[in-house]
Amino acid sequence: MKIQRFNLYDDLHHINEWLVKHNHPKITRHDIPEQGYMAWNNGTPVACVFIRRCEGHIGIIDGLASNPVVQSHLRHVALDGLIEHALEQCKKAKFKYVMGHTMDEGTFNRSIRLGFKETPFRVVMHKFE
């Protein structure tokens, strides 16, 4: 598995293909952070992750997605590798904390296994229409 820096112009269409196959809306270049990574297996894009930088040296792991036509065991290896790589990048950048949020139980369990801790805080959000 090879991890490379996300290239907006070459890689965005892969993510949109995955999102459509997962019944999610497509995204634009304005929806994703500058820092992202793609995992590749023999020239096939497998998964991606992004890091959002916030004030106070805090990072948010965001945009974790995978290619639904790739075998599940390869997606799991790629996702683990991407999260570990993102954490290494955050550590190098001297972030104090890295957080994430998910509604997916598998992603939650993966995060716990990779060293994240569940917090007592509840996430709230306001959406502008």
Q: What is the C-alpha to C-alpha distance for residues 35 and 51, in angstroms, rounded to an integer? A: 6
What percent of the chain has a predicted confidence (pLDDT) above 70?
A: 100
Q: Could you tell me the pLDDT band of residue 123, with boundaries at 50, 70 and 90?
A: confident
C-beta atoms surrounding 7 within 10 Å = 10
Answer yes or no: is pLDDT of 100 > 90. Answer: yes
Q: What pLDDT score does 49 carry?
A: 97
Instruction: For residue range 38-94, list pLDDT tens digits in order.
Output: 999 999 999 999 999 999 999 999 989 999 999 999 999 999 999 999 999 999 999
For the chain, give the mean pLDDT.
94
How would you label 18-45 residue by residue, b for 16+ Cβ within 10 Å and e otherwise? Answer: beeeeeeeeeeeeebeebbbbbbbeeeb
Q: What pLDDT score does 129 carry?
A: 86
The domain limits of the chain are 2-113
Q: Assign a CATH topology to domain 2-113.
A: Aminopeptidase (3.40.630)
Look up residue 9 and give its amino acid.
Answer: Y
> Angle of helix 72-92 relative to helix 105-113, nearest 10 degrees?
50
Q: What pLDDT score does 122 carry?
A: 87
pTM (two decimals): 0.91
Helix (H, G, I), strand (E, B) or coil at 17: helix
Q: What pLDDT score does 110 carry?
A: 94
